[in-house]
Structure 1
Amino acid sequence: MQIYAYLLNLVYCLLLACASPVILYRVLVQKKYRSGLAQKFFGQLSERNSNEPCFWFHAVSVGEVLQLPPLLEELKRQHPTLELLISTTTHTGYAVAKEKFPEFTVCYFPLDFSWAVKRALQRIRPTAVLLVEMELWPNFVLAADQAGIPVSIINGRLSEKSFRGYRKLRWLIGPLLNRLQLIAVQTDAYAERFQKLTGRADRIQVTGSIKFDGIQVDRANPLTAELRNIFRLKSGETVLIAGSTQSPEEQVALEVYLAVRQRFPRLRLILVPRHQERFHEVAELVKQYGLPLIRRSEQESGEAGSVLPFTNSQTPAIGLLDTLGELKSCWGLADIAFVGGSLTKRGGQNMIEPAGYGTALMLGPNTWNF
């Protein structure tokens, strides 16, 4: 076991050395990459002093973080003294978790060096660790197992593409998965793939998707109403939202919008890029088309958005939702929803949220990764 950890550390260090020029550049140039370095590299999480039970939830990024509210709310209702910790890997995931869960501890997940994961587990002393969807790190799982801390996967998923890759490493992945207390998956197909990797079915349960648990169906909810005001949407206008988009899907949406508006002049368009890093890029794209724009980030809550008139175009302003964690409510504005990632190799994003409002859905040909 110790030799295995040392070998993993060696591999990680070699990979880190190869990537060090890029990492160093990003750390020096981009502030977000400097966030949480002590937590990531050394497991320097805030030490938990309480002896109450504690569940540690790990959600990689924004999408996984946003799956947690209904589950955590129900846990706290049933077990008021239970302490909850949410870790994440990305800067955007961390920001959304801090906003959504101010009453819980939020931290960065340690990198999979044995010293970092052991220190993190020692400082938190969790009763159980729950990994959202599928985020498996060998040293972390081994360290938790040695410490007698059960680790489980919740809302698990395993795409056909990922399964083919893991199957080639079954000699490594299988024993790791067999150290888990529970693998709770979304569908029978996912359960079958996990069973083929582990060679056993006793710890695999089909529980459905927790994405369904927090679905919003009321278009009159306060945040949706606030966004309607900010984007200056008028009664009788038809709203097309292109959400969770990746390049070049925003450009495709703009081209379609301009073509369709010739027949349906009361059509409005709201763009919601998936990644925060692309907000400015998409704003510049709208500018290149000479279209007026309303950016959500530049508006105060409750106030109508101010239009940035790039030209004297008579076209109504394009909306740009350039904030984190509001897409779920923004879908409530849509009469028509295009779900991003489905025109690219990403394989699609969450179409359940717009469907909950009864919105007409449009998807590209790639929906295998949802």
Structure 2
Amino acid sequence: MLNLFQHLLSVPPLPASPTSFWRESDLIVASRGATGDKFRMPIIFDSIYLAASVVGAPYTLFKMLTSERHRSGLYQRFGMVSERTSKKPGIWIHGASVGEVITAKSIIEKIDQEFPEWETFISTSTNTGYSVAKQNFSDKPVFYFPVDLSWITKKVLRRVKPSCILLIELEIWPNFLVSVYEKNIPLIIVNGRISNKSFKTYQIISRISEAFYNSLTNKMNIYCARTELDAQRFCSLGIPSEQVFVTGTMKYDNIPTHIDENSKNELANLFHIKDNDLVLIGGSTHEGEEEILLRVFERLNKTYSNLRLIIAPRHIERTRDISRLIEKMGFVPLLKTEIEKSVYKWRNTNKEVILIDTVGDLGKIYSLSNFVFVGKSLVPFGGQNMMEPAGLGKPVFFGPHVFNFKEEVDLLLRNEAARLVETEDELWGSIEFFIKNPEAAKEMGLRAQEVVNGKRGATERNMEIIRKILESKSS
């Protein structure tokens, strides 16, 4: 139940799935019996959410008081968003977090270019997603997605007045879906994926709620699936096959394969990186991984004194703790924001570790690297996006815990375009191997880049479908 309360009060779900509560839903099914009796869904889910809020209140209130991340956007989450006053028809585009927001970028640009008579606006569920959305879409309304209480979802729909809603991947909250259906608004899912657990969840909810089933199978909805398996699962939920399309994943279309040389040189100068330096970057690291990286760096630095380390944690609010860890292990932490203010006097020693405490810069920073370790993977949290450094042709390493990126990992490993490391020693050994064998590192990076280029094109396939819908509503 804690996951639902965390959604209500802006705490990211654990795990990050809007359906994780329904592992307990067999109790509800049992209480209803096999008849699938129909009742008003909003009352049911509002009651569940509110009950969960009571159970989870102490933990969540503590997190809100101690972490800005957990209280960001609270007013907007409870429906206090600005009213849209434009006379243009509006497209509400939702991406849960950073990855989905970045994925949406190419399709938003195409919609803006081809349909200037429409207004696009963006919502997201996390503070990092919000920051990236504001950076990438500074000329557009950006707000936090509402909590899934029926009166709040209806209020937000009244205020932003969308003529069409586009969800990136699969961010289906039951009350929101029903509210959209009741307002007769077409819903388009792009990059649609549905795990086996989510599939079973939606099956359960459909059995106990006719309102949810009707909303899910609404004839105006369109589902653009990433794979044939995802498409089969959508159809198995009762969605007519003529509303389901396999278009692939757009994430590859948004991955840069080069960074402007001027931008790269500016960063190199900012960080005092010389031409003969070797740069190891730990990207999107999680607690426990920074210590591993620092030990690996310490071992390698004894032999390769020109090796530099840059750490970019997944959550920048951990910066203070990581700084203390860096100092404790005998190194000097250099925060990017402090470097930018020119308040640090460089010592030019191999003890300096650059710590990224800003959001939205990692893609450019990867361009400086010779080797990239992608985090949340040596600890059991599912991994992070390893395709971003792969697209830049960098040798990429990650740990065994990459269950959230199974497709990407399989693709890279199948093409010998990345290296999976099980332990700290394997990470150290793999990096040293590529330091000693720069041609092998270059070849692996080029294979990774080829993998990314070979998967492009989904954005245009999705646009073919979106184009028809917008044209029909414009006529």
Question: What's the TM-score, normalizing by structure 1?
Answer: 0.89
Cross-structure match for 1:48: 84
Seen in structure 2, the aligned counterparts of structure 1 residues 163 and 332 have a Cα distance that, compared at 3 Å, is: farther
Amino acid at match of 1:79: F
Amino acid at match of 2:75: A
Deviation, 1:168, is 6.0
Q: Distance in 2 between matches of 1:162 and 1:298?
A: 43
Q: Could you say which structure has the larger radius of gyration?
A: 2
Cross-structure match for 2:398: 363
Q: Name the % identity.
A: 36
Cross-structure match for 1:139: 175
Seen in structure 2, the aligned counterparts of structure 1 residues 232 and 51 have a Cα distance that, compared at 3 Å, is: same
Residue pair 2:308, 2:350 contacting (<8 A) in 1 also: no
Q: Distance in 2 between matches of 1:369 and 1:262?
A: 35
Cross-structure match for 2:117: 81
Deviation, 1:94, is 1.8
Deviation, 1:218, is 2.0
Could you tell me which of 268, 276, 291 is aligned with 1:251? 291
Cross-structure match for 2:368: 333
Judging by fraction of residues, say which structure has more helix: 2
Could you tell me which of 2, 7, 13 is aligned with 2:50? 13
User: Aligned to 1:39, what secondary structure does the other structure show?
Assistant: helix
Matched, 1:154 2:190: yes
Alignment of 1:90-169 (within 5 A): 90-160=126-196, 162-163=198-199
Structure 2 residue runs of 5 or longer lacking an equivalent are 1-37, 406-475
Aligned length: 364
Deviation, 1:235, is 0.5
Q: Distance in 1 between matches of 2:217 and 2:108?
A: 26
Deviation, 1:106, is 0.7
CA displacement, residues 79-104 of structure 1 (integer Å, 9 cap, x when unaligned): 12321111112222222222221110
Q: Distance in 2 between matches of 1:164 and 1:342?
A: 27
CA RMSD of aligned residues (A): 2.6
Cross-structure match for 2:318: 278
Seen in structure 2, the aligned counterparts of structure 1 residues 186 and 121 have a Cα distance that, compared at 3 Å, is: same
Amino acid at match of 2:217: N
CA displacement, residues 307-331 of structure 1 (integer Å, 9 cap, x when unaligned): 687xxx9424211111101111111
Cross-structure match for 1:4: 41
Q: Distance in 2 between matches of 1:148 and 1:332?
A: 46
CA displacement, residues 205-254 of structure 1 (integer Å, 9 cap, x when unaligned): 22222211122222444443332222211101111111111121211111
Matched, 1:299 2:339: yes
Deviation, 1:115, is 0.6
CA displacement, residues 44-93 of structure 1 (integer Å, 9 cap, x when unaligned): 22111223121101111222222222221121111123211111122222
Cross-structure match for 1:227: 267
Could you tell me which of 66, 74, 80 is aligned with 2:102? 66
User: Aligned to 1:369, what secondary structure does the other structure show?
Assistant: helix
User: Aligned to 1:81, what secondary structure does the other structure show?
Assistant: coil
User: Aligned to 2:404, what secondary structure does the other structure show?
Assistant: coil
User: Aligned to 1:67, what secondary structure does the other structure show?
Assistant: helix
Q: Distance in 2 between matches of 1:175 and 1:256?
A: 54
Residue pair 1:159, 1:369 contacting (<8 A) in 2 also: no
Question: What's the TM-score, normalizing by structure 2?
Answer: 0.70
Q: Distance in 2 between matches of 1:40 and 1:54?
A: 20
